[in-house]
Structures are given as C-alpha cells and as structure tokens.
Chains A and B, each alone.
Chain A
Amino acid sequence: MFTTDTTATDIELDLDAALNPGEVEGLYRDSRECAYLALLAGGGALLLSPPTPRPKKG
C-alpha cells in the first residue's frame, strides 16, 4: 500500500468520479477479436451478429 500527501478534497473528487463513471468512448472490435469470438464454439450468436440496422433518414 502506498502513502501520499493526497488531500481530502482530491480523494473526494476522485471518489465521486469513481462512483459515477461515464460511459467510455466506444471502440469497436477489430477482425482479430472477431476471429477469436468465432473460435468460441457454441453460443455467442448475438455477439457475432452484425449491428442492428438503423432506419434511414428521409
């Protein structure tokens, strides 16, 4: 365990952020990861399915 001179305010700010994290920026899978998923036998059909089509505008 480490010790620092971190202030109480620092800790509370960090704590608030840790308790209420926003969503991380989305990074979509690359082909290597898709290949790994494909190797997982059985199940995972939804994980390998293409994204849900979105309605076209206009």
Chain B
Amino acid sequence: MDQKHASSPLAGAVHDLATEVVLALRSGDHLATVCGAAGIDEENRTGIAAVRVIGADLLLPSVLYGRHPHPGDVAVLDRAVREFPPKPDAPAATAWSHWHMISTLQRMAPPAPGAAAPGAYAEPDAAWLEEAPWQAFTHQLSVLAPLAVPAAPSAVQRAAANRAVDLSRGFVRAVRRRDWLQAAGAGRWLAAVGGEPATLGLERGLDFVEQMGGHDPRVTLHVRAARLMAEARAR
C-alpha cells in the first residue's frame, strides 16, 4: 500500500496484511507465508499489532481450504496473542477476538507431542449479545466477523444463528448506509450460519458490497470468506 494514504502506520500495515490474506484466499495457495508476503515478522511491533487487528483471519486460508498453516504465520499469530492481551477493562469484542485467536491456534496448530499444552481459556461473556438491539448486534458481530468460520462453535456463533433475521436486517441497513465493512462482516456471518430470508438476496448483495467497497481489502476478505463458505454449504 502507498503508506502516504494510510491514516496511520497501523492502518497501512492492516491494509497490507488483509491484501495478502485476500490473495491467499483467491489463489487457494497459502503455502507461502502471509506475514512474510506482507513484510511482517516477530520483531515488527506495528506488524504484530496489525496481526492482532486481523486476528485469526491470518490463518483463514488454511481454515477454509483445510490445510496446515505456515509455521511462520502461526508464530506471528502466537506472538500477537501474547503481545496484545485484552486489558482488564477491554470491551467484550476485544476479549472475544483474543479468545478466538487462541482457539484457532489450538485447533490449527496444536502443540507437538510432549510439549506443554496451553492453559484452558474460558469463553468471554456473550449474554450482552442476546439483549443488544439489532443495529448494535450487527455492528458488534461485524467487528467479530473472524469468528464466522466453519467448525468453530462459540457463544457468539450461537447468538448469530439465533438472530439471523436481525443480522439480515443489519446487513440491509449497513448497505443502505454504505458501511461496506459492516455489511461484508454481517454477510459473512449469514453465509456461515444461514437462516437469512430468501428475499434478502445475500449472494447478489455481497456482489454489490464488493463492487462498492472492494477498495478496502478487509471488505474483500469478508466477502471472499462468505463465498467460500456458501460454496461449501451448497456442496
């Protein structure tokens, strides 16, 4: 990315990293390290912070294509987990994204035989999601879009499945407000959990979101993830 146009060094690093994840999703070939392609290693603190923002989506190509993640990406994700734990007063969404990074590491890169097993890490509270108005619910779910992946059950995913119609309303609202990132995140959740009204036209809606918001690689990342999950569900 041309860093002159990034609002901050972190925003530029997030843009670069999301772009590499999208390239890996498009090609289906993630044997090359995503972080390496984005110029991020364990010594680059801005890059590690960018990995904290992208979260478990760093390993999304491996998750969706069912392959082993690159050890370099696993190491950087693990570093981001340790470097940026949620503060005691952190919002619930921050705790949840951190929890999901740990959960993904445990699922995708379990410790070698004989190595010390990581400690158990309980799910953060999710009761607030059940009571949130549908607008705030969709906004928070969009922030937590990396949790919208197959075979990764969580209280957030159960809340999404239970409120698919609210998510559908939120998807429409986000499109009408031109909030492409929120729309892409909500659409990704609907692709993951299903249950949206047929009249929503999710597939065409996602096409529209990508057409209008595709300049942001995080939008493209969510839309691409949604398509891959929808294709898998249709098989």
Give complex CA distance A56, B187 in Å. 31
Q: A2-B3, A40-B204, A46-B168 are in contact. Are A20 and B94 (CB under 8 A)?
A: yes
* A55 within 8 A of partner (CB): no
Contact A37 B208 (CB under 8 A): yes
Given A18-B53, A20-B143, A24-B179, also A47-B172 (CB < 8 A): yes
B40, B45, B201: the one within 8 Å of A47 (CB): B201
Closest chain B residue, CB of each to CB of A21: B143
Q: Are B204 and A42 in contact (CB under 8 A)?
A: yes
List the B residue with the shortest CB-CB distance to A6. Answer: B9
Which chain A positions have C-beta within 8 A of B66? none
How many B residues, CB 8 Å from partner? 48
Q: Chain A nearest CB: distance from B146 CB in Å?
A: 11
A42 to B46, CA, bound (A): 44
B59: min CB distance to chain A, Å: 18
B177 CB contact (under 8 Å) in A21, A28, A37, A45? A28
Q: Tell whether, in the assembled complex, residue A44 and residue B12 are in contact, meaning their CB atoms are under 8 Å apart.
A: no
1/0 per residue, CB under 8 A from A, across B72-109: the answer is 00000000000010000001011001000000000000
Please give, as numbers and ranges, the residues of chain B lying within 8 Å of A19 by CB-CB distance. 52-53, 91, 93-94, 97, 143
A14 to B7, CA, bound (A): 10
CB distance from A41 to the nearest CB of B (A): 8
Of B40, B176, B201, which contacts A51 at CB under 8 A?
Answer: B176
With CB as the reference atom, state the residue of chain B lying closest to A5: B9
Question: How many A residues have CB within 8 A of the partner chain?
Answer: 33
Q: B205's closest neighbor in chain A, by CB?
A: A47
Return the contact of B40 from the options A1, A10, A43 (Cβ within 8 A). Answer: A1
| A43 touching B203, Cβ below 8 Å | yes
Given contacts A19-B94, A43-B202, contact A4 B46 (CB under 8 A): yes
Query: Per-residue CB proximity of B174-207 to A under 8 Å, as 1/0?
Result: 0111110110000000000000011111111101
CB of B47 within 8 Å of the partner chain: yes
The reply to whether B197 and A46 contact each other, CB–CB distance below 8 Å, is yes
Cβ–Cβ contact B94 & A28, under 8 A: no
Do residues B208 and A36 form an inter-chain contact, with CB atoms below 8 A?
yes
Interface centre among A1, A10, A11, A27 (most CB of B within 10 A): A1
Contact with A along B1-37 (1 / 0, CB 8 A): 0010000111111101000000000000000000000
Chain A residues with CB below 8 A from B208, complex form: 36-37, 40, 44, 47
Sort A-B residue pairs by CB-CB distance and give the 4 closest, nearest first. A43-B201, A1-B39, A44-B201, A26-B177
**Chain B residues engaging chain A, CB cutoff 8 angstroms:** 3, 8-14, 16, 38-40, 44-47, 49, 52-53, 84, 91, 93-94, 97, 139, 143, 168, 172, 175-179, 181-182, 197-205, 207-208, 211-212
